[in-house]
Amino acid sequence: MTDFWNGIPDITARLDAVRARMKSVVGSDRFPLAEAVERLIDANGKMLRPAFLIMAGRFGRRPKDLTDLAASIELLHIATLIHDDVIDEADTRRGIPTIHSLYSPKEAVLAGDWLFSRCFRLASDSSSPGNARLLAALIGALCSEEIHQDLDRFRWPRSARNYLRKIAGKTAALFSLALRAGAVETKASSANIAALTRAGYAAGMAFQIMDDVLDYESSSGDMRKPVAKDVREGLCTLPLILAIRADPERILPRLGPGKPDERAVASIVDAVRESGAMESAKAVASAYTARAMRELSRLPKGSASDDLRATVERLLSRTY
Amino acid sequence: MTDFWNGIPDITARLDAVRARMKSVVGSDRFPLAEAVERLIDANGKMLRPAFLIMAGRFGRRPKDLTDLAASIELLHIATLIHDDVIDEADTRRGIPTIHSLYSPKEAVLAGDWLFSRCFRLASDSSSPGNARLLAALIGALCSEEIHQDLDRFRWPRSARNYLRKIAGKTAALFSLALRAGAVETKASSANIAALTRAGYAAGMAFQIMDDVLDYESSSGDMRKPVAKDVREGLCTLPLILAIRADPERILPRLGPGKPDERAVASIVDAVRESGAMESAKAVASAYTARAMRELSRLPKGSASDDLRATVERLLSRTY
C-alpha cells in the first residue's frame, strides 16, 4: 500500500503519525481488545480519508496539526469495518482474523461502539464544533443509506438517480468531508473550501462508480470466477442498472428474489459485459473525474495542489 | 410506568416532551426503521436518566430547556438496548418484537449506529462541549466494561472491588452524568454541581446492587423458577461474591466453566440465599442509598430537592 504514496512527499510520514495516534487511542482506557484492533490498524489500506484531510490542510491560512482529527476519521472507518464484518459474518479481513471470529459477535459490536465513542470524543476535542457535528451527521447518513440498501436487496431497483444519490451520501460524502474539514480547520479561504468540498464529492462519486465497475471486471480464485460480489448480494449498481436499460429482455429474467447460483451469476455478468454497460458506467465515472480535476485546478498553484491532483488521478486510474 | 412519577409534579409532562423530541429525531433524515424505533420509545420505561437531568436543571441559576440533551441521553440508552438485543439474540423487549427479529441483525446493528450518531449530534448541538465529551467518554467506558464483563463470563471472578468498580463505570456513571449535566448546563453553583454528581454516583451504585440482588430474589413463570439471569449467563455479581466469601465449600463446586443447567442454577440460588449474602449485599446498597440522601440534603431546601429526594427514595425502595 505504501507504493500508492510514492512521489508524494511527506504524506507517508504524516500517515504514520496518524496510525500511531490511532493506536494510542485504542491502547487507552483499559480497552480490552486493543491488540486485535491494533492489528486491524496495521493491516489498514491506503488511509485515503486522513490523507485527504491532511492534504487539504495545506491550503489553510493558519496551519494546524490535523493528526487527531485524521485519526478520528480513520477510527470511524475501522469501527464501520468491524460492524460490517459482524453483519457479513466475515472470518478475515485483509488476511487478518476478524474480531467477530476471534472473540464473538458481541465483542465485535461493542468494540465498534467503543471506537465510535472514542472517535466522537477525539473529533470534539480536536476540531471545531461544526466539523464534529458534520462527522456525526455523516455517520448517521451512512448507516441510514446502508439500511436502505439492505432493505432493497434482491429487489433490483433500477433507478440510476437513486443509485447516484446513494453513493453521494456514502463515498462522496466521506471524501468531501475529509477535504472540507482539513480546509476549514486550517482557515482556508471560502473559495478554496468550496473547491475542495466539490472536488471531494466528484472524486468520491468517480471512485465508487469505478469500484462498482471493477466488481464486474475482476475475477478471483483458480477457476477465474467473476467476483460479482454485488450481484451475489442482491445489490443493483450502475453497471447492472445500465445493462437492464440496454438489454432488458436478456437481463431481467435472470434476476430473482433470492441469491443467484454460480451459473446465474456468470450469465448475469456476461450479459452485463456484453451490453456495453461497462463502458457507459466508466464514461459516467470519467465525467466525475473530470469534474474533480476541474475543481482542483481552481486551487492556488503549487506543490499542495500538485500532490492532491496526483493523488486523485492515481486513485481514479485504479492501477494501485 | 407512569405510576412511578405520581406526586412528582411536572415531570410526566416534561418526559412526554422528551419522548416527542426523540421521535422527531428518529423520524428525520429518511431513517428507514423509524416506526420500529418509535415503538421502542413508546414501550420505554421510567426514563430515569432524562428525568434526573431535568430535575437537576432546577438547581441552576440560568434556567434552560434541557429537552434536547435529555432526548440525546435517552436515545443513547435505546441504541445500547438495540445492540444488546442483537448480542443476546432476544426476540422481544417489553413485549415489543426487537428490530433484530423484525428485520435482521444487520439492520439492528446499523440502527444502533445511526442512533449513536444522532445522539452525539444532538448532544453537541444542545450542550456545552464539555458535556458532549463527557457523554462520548461515558459510552466508551460502558462498552469497554461490557467487553471486560463478557470476557470474564464463567470465570466467576470473586473480587468485590472489581465488581464495585465495574458498576461504578456503568450505572453509577450514567446517573451521575445525568444529574451533573443538568446542573452544569443551567449554571448551578459548583457546590450544587458537586453534590448532584456525588448523589448520582451513590444512587447509581445502590440501584445496580439492588438490581443484582433482585435477580436472586425474584422468580418467574408457572414453576416459579428463580430468574437468576446473571448466574445463567456466567456473571458474578455482589450476592454471589459475598456468598462465596461466606460459604466457599458449598458454592465453589457448583460453579463451572459452562452454562449451568436448571438444577445447578436452583442449587446456586439456594446456597446464595442461605449464606446471608443477600442481607450483606442489601446492607452495601443501603450504605450507598444513605450516602445519596446525605448528598441530596446539602442542596438548597425547596420543591426541587424534595422531588429529587422522593425520586431516589422511591427508586431505591424498588417497590415500582
CA distance B222 to chain A (A): 31
A140/B30 touch (CB, cutoff 8 Å), yes or no: no
Contact at 8 Å (CB) between A151 and B32? yes
Residue A161 burial (10 A CB sphere; 0-12, 13-18, 19+): exposed
Element (H, E) at B125: helix B105-126
Q: What is the pLDDT of residues B214-233, one digit of tens each?
A: 999 877 665 566 789 999 98
A146–B83 CB contact, under 8 Å: no
For residues B239-249, average pLDDT: 95
Predicted confidence at residue B149, as pLDDT, reads 81
Q: What pLDDT is stored for residue A224 in this prediction?
A: 62
The answer to whether the CB of B83 falls within 8 A of the CB of B133 is no
- Mean pLDDT, rounded, for A176-196: 96
Instruction: Report pLDDT for A230.
Output: 92
**Cα separation values, A91 from A40, A96, A215, Å:** 13, 8, 21
Cα–Cα–Cα angle for B275, B280, B281, nearest 5°?
105
A118 neighbourhood in chain B, CB within 8 Å: 136, 140
Give the nearest chain B residue to A86 (CA atoms).
B106
3-state secondary structure of B97: strand
**Can you list the domains of chain B with their CATH numbers?**
158-299 (1.10.600.10)
Query: B interface mutation test: which of A26, A115, A121, A235 has the most B CBs within 10 A?
Result: A121
pLDDT score, position B145 = 79
Q: Is the ipTM reported for this complex over the cut 0.95?
A: no
- What pLDDT score does B302 carry? 95
Has residue B320 got a pLDDT over 50? no
Of B123, B52, B39, B51, which is closest to residue B82 (Cα–Cα)? B39
Q: Which of A12-26, A151-165, A166-180, B220-234 has the lowest mean pLDDT?
A: B220-234
- pLDDT score recorded for residue A62: 94
**For residue A320, what pLDDT is reported?**
45
CB contact under 8 A, A147 and B83: no
Please say if the pLDDT value at position B246 is more than 80.
Answer: yes
Q: Distances in Å between the alpha carbon of A104 and those of A99, B88, B315?
A: 7, 12, 35
Measured CA to CA, the distance from residue A82 to residue A76 in angstroms comes to 10
| Residue among B30, B9, B10, B8 at smallest CA distance from B18 | B10
Phi first, then psi: give them for residue A47, nearest 5 degrees.
60, 50
Search chain B and give the residue with CA nearest A29: B141
Average pLDDT, chain A: 89
Taking the C-alpha atoms of residue A116 and residue A25, their distance in angstroms, rounded to an integer, is 12
Is residue A194 within a helix (H) or strand (E), and if so which, with residue range?
helix A190-217
pTM of the model: 0.84
CB B134 within 8 A of CB B177: yes
Q: Give pLDDT tens digits for B168-208.
A: 988 899 899 999 999 999 999 999 999 999 999 999 999 99
The count of CB pairs under 8 A between chains A and B is: 136
The model's confidence at residue A248, banded by pLDDT at 50, 70 and 90, is very high
Which pLDDT band holds residue A117 (cuts at 50, 70, 90)?
A: confident
Report CB contact under 8 Å: A148, B30: yes
CA distance B77 to B95: 18
pLDDT tens sequence across A130-147: 777 777 777 777 788 778
Residue B319 confidence (pLDDT): 52
Q: A144 vs B32: CB contact, 8 Å cut-off? A: yes
CB contact under 8 A, B32 and A147: yes
Question: What φ, ψ does residue B296 adopt, rounded to 5°?
Answer: -65, -30
Q: Distance between CA B236 and CA B233 in Å, rounded? A: 9
Rounded to whole angstroms, how far apart are CA atoms B297 and B308? 10
Q: For residues B285 and B307, what is the distance between their CA atoms, to the nearest angstrom?
A: 21
Residues of chain A in contact with residue B139, where contact means CB-CB under 8 angstroms, are: 113-114, 116-117
Bridge-based pairing of strands A96-97 and A219-220 is unpaired
Chain B residues touching chain A at CB-CB below 8 Å: 29-33, 80, 83, 86-87, 103-107, 109-114, 116-118, 120-121, 124-125, 129, 132-133, 136-141, 143-144, 146-148, 150-151
> Torsions phi, psi of A93, nearest 5?
-140, 125
Q: Once rounded to an integer, what is the mean pLDDT over residues B298-312?
A: 95
Q: What is the pLDDT of residue A221?
A: 62
By C-alpha distance, which of B51, B80, B79, B46 is closest to B67?
Answer: B51
Residue appearing with cell numbers 449467563: B233
User: Are the C-beta atoms of residues B182 and B52 closer than 8 Å to each other?
Assistant: yes
Sequence-ordered list of residues with C-beta below 8 angstroms from that of A172, at least 6 positions apart, any chain: A200, A201, A202, A203, A204, A205, A208
